[in-house]
Amino acid sequence: AEARRLAAKLEIHYTPKHGSWLNMAELELSVLARQCLAERMDSQAHLTREVAAWETRRNTVRAKIDWRFTTDNARIKLKHLYPSIQP
């Protein structure tokens, strides 16, 4: 009963396999800035239309992030953060 009470308080969220949701959001905002926001927008309505069109194109081509920082790279680069277990 206690375990069920505690489990009911938990809120489970999807966590991306590579990187974090914050990394993914930052990358998408960077792409948006480069591909869509390089020109000056004369109104809020114009900005909204441009971003909506950009978003539609991104979703149509099902754009994905190409993660190049592999688990093996992380083990080398971040070795000092993780303890090693000796058998």
Average model confidence (pLDDT) for the chain?
A: 84
- Whether 87 is in a domain gets the answer no
Domain count, the chain: 1
Q: For residue 54, which of 41, 67, 66 has the smallest C-alpha distance? A: 41
Domain that holds residue 70: 2-81
- Which run of H or E residues covers position 74? helix 71-77
Flag whether the pTM goes above 0.75: no
d(CA 57, CA 48): 14
- Whether 86 is in a domain gets the answer no
Q: For residue 15, which of 27, 7, 24 has the smallest C-alpha distance? A: 24
- Whether 74 is in a domain gets the answer yes
Task: Write the pLDDT tens digit of every residue in 21-45.
Answer: 788 888 889 999 998 888 888 999 9
Say which range, 3-12, 30-39, 49-58, 65-74, has the weakest mean pLDDT.
Answer: 65-74
